[in-house]
Structure 1
Amino acid sequence: MNAKPWLPYYPTEVAPSFDYPKQNLAQFLISSSQQYPNRPAMYFMGKTIRYKKLLESAYRMANALKSKRLKKGDRVAIMLPNCPQVVIAYYGTLLAGGIVVMTNPLYVERELAYQLQDSGTKIMITLDQFYSKVQNVAEETMIEHTIVTAIPDYLPFIKKILYPFAAKKQGPLPQIEYSRSVHSFTALLASADDTPCCEKVNADHDLALLQYTGGTTGVPKGVMLTHTNLIANTIQSANWCYQVENGKERYLAVLPCFHVFGLTTLLSQGVYRAGMLILIPKFDPNSLLKIIDKKKPTLFPGAPTMYIALINHPKIKEYDLSSINACISGSSALPLEVQDRFEELTKGKLIEGYGLTETSPVTHVNPIWGRRKIGTIGIPVPDTEAKVVNPATGEEVLPGEAGELIVKGPQVMKGYWNRPEETFDTIRNGWLFTGDMATMDEEGYFSIIDRKKDMIIASGFNIYPREIEEVLYEHPAVKEAVVIGIKDAYRGETVKAYIVLKDGKAPDPKDIERFCRSQLAAYKVPKHYVFRESLPKTLVGKVLRRKLLEEEEETPAG
């Protein structure tokens, strides 16, 4: 078979291979700041920060971290929404030689404690609103210092004054007691010097990021992404958008930076291209439409749920969306009607791609201004090999036949943190076995048809059934439980729980939901509950999850 049948369908402007500099990932920020010092780097709720100031702040953060005895290879957890502080903390950590551990602010304490313990995090950078969670689990972890910031820290003067009055509607403002181990983000930066520093790294070996993702067997795993992994994927995805001009683009940064999709396609790519990041801390269709109308973003990577919410907004025609030139949709399947409607409204291009946390994340994308195929994830990005193999034998299947998608390229992770056996199972001879079932046509366009894994993707978040099932089993009324993902017009998928109750217990879905909310991040909590007398099982007692999925597919809608 032709090893790369997709190459003839590459746009002439996109090379099939690139050189990837062996350097610290933060060098992108240094280079852009030197070339475009006065170019706006970030816009946040009325405040603009230029590249020169961003680099100075990152240097200050790096030196502040070193003053707290951060050594090369130490882990720094960042639990922040999209705001200037997340960019400063990210690049400051990299400049100091630390490994970033991006942490989801939606985590409940149990989830947070596990990640901090597993990663061996020494320094936590977080928002005042999340500080109590960190404080409650700190004694279970190796955290030596916590750096706390607040949304007003980077607001324009007037908004900073008004913020406490607006925030009081959400409850009392957090009161932080600073100490030798708890520090103010702004005070720490103000006291640190801005002497340039950039730790030398072995880019192929040294980690830049420890990004947690779940798996088919229980607790989340730390995906080890090197400087080379993230540099390569930034250059691969940036060059795919070949009409982008350095120093001129405006990126609508609504994908969270704690998610690897947002980290690469927004933060890294935006800085690499010296673009302006329009930072949005929370997805809200009303405010997002106003921002698009006012700030005229040119690039808008996102998830299907975001585009669905916008095209269905009752007042969308009142806003000018024509500045948007290109959008890459990821995390779940993009419905054709959503693609068509969004392109009609913006006159820009909305195309579907594919990736995994383990691949930094992008491996496949449809050509933006070239030949795309609706319903496919497109073709592999430069320097990326992909094929579909028989799951049992590992042999490549013929075009059109279904099998497991495997990929190889410079963006493929180093492995799973402290999990050599799982790394060995996932990466074989340089090929990453994705666990996704796919087909490839004769022209090299790939389509995802099913998941070998049981993972559920809802609104772009990876959800792993076993974790939810273990929480359900802790409920005093639950005898047995199994969780599946079902189709959802808005979220892509949503969580459905099948429950067998203990003898004498009555169904009470609201009580079980309350219990789940106390133990799980909101996006993991089941939205549907079905109570049954029994669950389908094998002869050895294993629950047949696939049987429940088949029943769900056979159930008439509505």
Structure 2
Amino acid sequence: MDTPATSNEGLRPWIASYPEGIVWDDKIDTTPVHEQILAACAKNPGAMALDFLGGTTSFGELAEKIVAFAGALQSQFGVTKGTRVALMLPNTPFYPIAYYGVLRAGGTVVNCNPLYTVAELGHITANAGADIMVTLDLQQIFEKAEALLAAGHVKKLVVAHFPNALPLVKKILFSVAKRKDLAHPDRSAHAAVISRFEDLLARKDSPAPVTIDPQTDIAVQQYTGGTTGIPKGALLTHANIAANMSQIDKWGCGLFYPPSKVIAVLPFFHIFAMTVCMNVPLCNGTPVIMLPRFELKALLGIFTRTGANVLPAVPTLLSALGRSDAVTQAQIETLEVAISGGAALPDEVRHAFSKKSKALLAEGYGLTEASPVVCCAALRVPSKPMSIGLPLPGTDIRFVDVDSGKVVGIGENGELQVKGPQVMAGYYENPEASKEAFMDGWLRTGDVGHMDEDGYVFLIDRIKDLIICSGFNVYPRTIEEAIMTHDAVDEVNVIGVPDEYRGEAPVAFVKLKDGHRLSEADLKSFLAEKLNKIEMPRQIIFKEALPKTLIGKLSKKELREEYAQMKAGKS
């Protein structure tokens, strides 16, 4: 793959397919996001910015808290340009306050998934050199933060009091009924290095100005690659983050402006939600309606209570809306646009969702290293089905043959590669991985697909998920799409396993819908006309649940480990 590929940059067939009013070479705004949010707050301070379970924060209040937190970070912790600050927070008002506060203070945000193990969190914080962590006093989360302190991975904690995020009645109820769920940081053996979030805000320290170079200064150090190896810290500059916001904003044709209301059920610490659920709407003065985690009943309640109309989602969430008998058209009638990302959107999920909602369902595509969005279906008019849409303004893409490294033609499959202002600066202190991530200046995505004559992009699978059977390329997604067409199937995930005769063979893990039964033989018979002999799964394993990542993406990593253990147990 080191062979220099010829470039098709400048040949952009997708431009002719752009919706009216969108210009590919439009000016991209790279104003740092913390400057944008404070400007949005000043423009309409009385408007609602955040809604958390009915408790609201106005833009004016948000600005005051961002500035106060930034001031405290500087005066109390010495945060300055380049200081890494870890955030281990679910979706609550504390997250945007901390996120924008860190950036205003000159620091770099290091996002941490609260469901990671202490070992995983230890690697991220130690690798990043994040001595300060902002977290919550919910026991399940706080005990991990405390363990990181004890191990020396972080040196200081800032802990927010969860009930303070709730409206008054819920705050009182929580404090009475759920007090066992709360930790007591003041009783910790490490209390001397633990500060209360609320106390820092109460100081109302004014932050000193910080001169940011958007092109070189790092806003977010986002760890990625945990499902395939040791997580690497993608360095996203202020310009990377702002550019992708600007690209999405242009692509939305006004969607992310009032009177829209955006639902944030995806976690902000994930790059998709950070950009699409938080940064883009808030910087346009649009309210964000938060849920701390996905619960179908709570999500339906948001539509009823707020009339929210924009839902960034993952396929498993859309599947729950489309397939659940508990969901009616009337309950989600305010929804106008659903944006699917994070994983491939199965056609069956698309159809099921369309029966419950008249909303436009647009599939997008991105990766952490691109801040994250690269391509997206149009958000105001229909796009070609099964496509991830068109490259965003200012974004160039090409497809490169996996074996020869040469650019392939229209309709031919190859690795998708990207250029654009949203592409990362590299990986933190990992020059080897940074070099491997690029091919003569183009970011390698590891995803295989093609472009049609109209510039629409279609993905087939991940290079690393590719199964090579008897020398033939077999794509798990092809098998998954075929299995999903059976009425009894709820979810499916296909992996490649060692095979003495063919080298590798596909194995399918299937979850059936409630109340349905299906045998392996019957399902293989159903698939006989849909798959060739090489694609037919060697084995179909039925499970009551399939492993997922926190954002809801079906995870192959756990299935590979489970299958290896099964084989080891039999041998």
Q: CA 1:127/1:294 → structure 2, altered by over 3 Å: closer, same or farther?
A: same
Report the 3-state secondary structure (helix = DSSP H, G, I; strand = E; otherwise coil) of the residue aligned with 2:310: coil
Contact 1:59 1:197 in 2 (8 A): no
> How many Å apart are 1:230 and its aligned residue?
0.6
Query: Within 2, Cα distance between the matches of 1:224 and 1:533?
Result: 39
Contact 2:394 2:420 in 1 (8 A): yes
Q: 1:52 corresponds to which residue?
A: 60
Q: Does 1:434 align with 2:469?
A: no
Query: Within 2, Cα distance between the matches of 1:487 and 1:330?
Result: 22
Q: 1:185 corresponds to which residue?
A: 197
Query: Within 1, Cα distance between the matches of 2:307 and 2:359?
Result: 13
Query: Within 2, Cα distance between the matches of 1:233 and 1:363?
Result: 9
Query: Within 1, Cα distance between the matches of 2:247 and 2:388?
Result: 16
Q: Does 1:425 align with 2:460?
A: no
Q: CA 1:490/1:132 → structure 2, altered by over 3 Å: closer, same or farther?
A: farther
Q: CA 1:533/1:87 → structure 2, altered by over 3 Å: closer, same or farther?
A: closer
Q: Does 1:152 align with 2:158?
A: no
Report the 3-state secondary structure (helix = DSSP H, G, I; strand = E; otherwise coil) of the residue aligned with 1:255: coil
Once the two structures are superposed, the pairs formed by residues 185-334 of structure 1 within 5 Å of their partners are: 185-193=197-205, 195=206, 199-214=210-225, 218-244=229-255, 246-317=257-328, 319-334=330-345
Deviations 1:304-339 (A, max 9, x none): 111111122222127431221111101112123332
Q: CA 1:47/1:217 → structure 2, altered by over 3 Å: closer, same or farther?
A: closer
Q: 1:531 corresponds to which residue?
A: 566
> How many Å apart are 1:485 and its aligned residue?
8.8
Query: Within 2, Cα distance between the matches of 1:172 and 1:93?
Result: 28
What amino acid sits opposite 1:109 in the alignment? Answer: V
Query: Within 2, Cα distance between the matches of 1:321 and 1:245?
Result: 19
> How many Å apart are 1:532 and its aligned residue?
2.4
Deviations 1:183-202 (A, max 9, x none): 11112211233x36552211
> How many Å apart are 1:219 and its aligned residue?
0.8
Once the two structures are superposed, the pairs formed by residues 18-97 of structure 1 within 5 Å of their partners are: 18-67=26-75, 68-97=77-106
Q: CA 1:484/1:44 → structure 2, altered by over 3 Å: closer, same or farther?
A: farther
Contact 1:211 1:223 in 2 (8 A): yes
Contact 2:329 2:356 in 1 (8 A): no
Q: Does 1:451 align with 2:486?
A: no
Number of aligned residue pairs: give it.
487
> How many Å apart are 1:76 and its aligned residue?
0.5
Query: Within 1, Cα distance between the matches of 2:507 and 2:129?
Result: 32
Superposed CA RMSD: 3.2
Q: TM-score, normalised by structure 1?
A: 0.81
Once the two structures are superposed, the pairs formed by residues 9-20 of structure 1 within 5 Å of their partners are: 9-20=17-28
Q: Which of 120, 124, 134 is the matching residue for 1:125? A: 134
> How many Å apart are 1:353 and its aligned residue?
1.0
Q: CA 1:131/1:483 → structure 2, altered by over 3 Å: closer, same or farther?
A: farther
Deviations 1:158-179 (A, max 9, x none): 21111023325xx553121274
Query: Within 2, Cα distance between the matches of 1:333 and 1:245?
Result: 23
Q: Does 1:137 align with 2:125?
A: no
Report the 3-state secondary structure (helix = DSSP H, G, I; strand = E; otherwise coil) of the residue aligned with 1:377: coil
Q: CA 1:488/1:433 → structure 2, altered by over 3 Å: closer, same or farther?
A: farther
Deviations 1:47-100 (A, max 9, x none): 111101001000011011112111210000000110000010000000000000
> How many Å apart are 1:216 and its aligned residue?
8.3
Q: Which of 391, 400, 403 is the matching residue for 2:402? A: 391
What amino acid sits opposite 1:419 in the alignment? Answer: N
Q: CA 1:215/1:254 → structure 2, altered by over 3 Å: closer, same or farther?
A: closer
Deviations 1:192-215 (A, max 9, x none): 33x365522110100000100116
Contact 1:216 1:453 in 2 (8 A): no
> More displaced, 258-267 or 139-148?
139-148
Query: Within 2, Cα distance between the matches of 1:486 and 1:121?
Result: 40
Deviations 1:467-524 (A, max 9, x none): xxxxxxxxxxxxxxx9999566699xxxxxxxxxxxxxxxxxxxxx9xxx9xxxx976
Q: 2:541 corresponds to which residue?
A: none
Once the two structures are superposed, the pairs formed by residues 326-405 of structure 1 within 5 Å of their partners are: 326-405=337-416
Q: CA 1:490/1:452 → structure 2, altered by over 3 Å: closer, same or farther?
A: farther
Deviations 1:361-399 (A, max 9, x none): 100111123351111111100000001111233211111
Deviations 1:99-142 (A, max 9, x none): 00010000111111111100000210011121211211224345
Q: CA 1:380/1:83 → structure 2, altered by over 3 Å: closer, same or farther?
A: same
Once the two structures are superposed, the pairs formed by residues 464-503 of structure 1 within 5 Å of their partners are: none
Report the 3-state secondary structure (helix = DSSP H, G, I; strand = E; otherwise coil) of the residue aligned with 1:352: strand
Report the 3-state secondary structure (helix = DSSP H, G, I; strand = E; otherwise coil) of the residue aligned with 2:16: helix
Contact 2:49 2:286 in 1 (8 A): yes
Q: CA 1:371/1:317 → structure 2, altered by over 3 Å: closer, same or farther?
A: closer
Contact 2:244 2:371 in 1 (8 A): yes
> More displaced, 211-220 or 95-104?
211-220
Contact 1:24 1:203 in 2 (8 A): yes
> More displaced, 423-432 or 403-412?
423-432
Q: TM-score, normalised by structure 2?
A: 0.79
Contact 2:70 2:207 in 1 (8 A): no
* Residue segments in structure 1 that go unaligned for 5+ positions in a row: 466-481, 492-512, 537-558
Report the 3-state secondary structure (helix = DSSP H, G, I; strand = E; otherwise coil) of the residue aligned with 1:239: helix
Report the 3-state secondary structure (helix = DSSP H, G, I; strand = E; otherwise coil) of the residue aligned with 1:76: strand
Contact 2:387 2:456 in 1 (8 A): yes
> How many Å apart are 1:236 and its aligned residue?
0.8
